[in-house]
Amino acid sequence: GGEAAGTFLVGTEGGRIFKCYNDTNDINVKEFSRAVCAGEKVELRTPVREAGYSPHAGAVFGLDCSPFQRELFLSCSTDGSVRLYSSLRMAPLLQLEPTAAYLFAVAWSPVRPLVFAAAAADGCVFLFDLLRPAEVVRPALTLDTNGMRKPVYALAFNSRKPELLATGDATGIQIWRLPSSLTAVRRGEEAALRRLALAEDVRELMRGQQQGG
């Protein structure tokens, strides 16, 4: 997903994030196939271009666009960081480093605008709640999914049953029940996300919310 229909993001092993646009139809696909089969030179209608976002120091394995604020997206990387970006800015709004291990997947909660999760190579899944402001943003909950430090490669929230979270490693899938503190919608949370998207200094904004709240 992205801020416009047909827009999507791609993470690379070099740590960069590309913005892509899918501009095609059946006629274009047939013409492309014909040209390729004929060995003709093919001009790409929508070539991939680097968006200019500040790159990670390692491979980007996870990206997820906010279901509540279309210009916001999350990324995670083998550099151990989760980043919150606005598609309108090159530098991340926020960078979190919950672990020194690789991070393989990241996902927004489908019901809590300020909650998201990241899956790590050390077997942990970190859940963050940005409505809990602090000087240093720490995970609101850490799940040790297997007790054996096996990498967690995938995770998914359940939009119909928001208290459930699925995680996947090399041995299978696990279903977790999340506490209500991470699933119950909070008053004013979407407005808080909009303020975050516009903030010049996200951490300063969060400290202000803490002092005021």
Render 157-173 in DSSP notation, one character per residue.
Answer: E-SSSTTEEEEEETTEE
Pick the CATH number of 51-212 from 2.130.10.10, 3.30.365.10, 3.90.1300.10, 3.40.190.10: 2.130.10.10
Alpha-carbon 106 to chain mean position: 5
Q: What is the pLDDT of residues 43-100, one digit of tens each?
A: 766 666 667 899 999 999 999 999 999 999 999 999 999 999 998 899 999 999 999 9
Tokens of 174: 């696990």
Which position has the token pair 């049953």? 161
Q: How many CB atoms lie within 10 A of CB 141?
A: 17
Low pLDDT (below 70) residues in the chain: 1-5, 23-25, 44-50, 133-136, 207-213
R_g of the chain computed on alpha carbons? 19
Q: Tell me, yes or no, if the pTM score tops 0.75.
A: yes
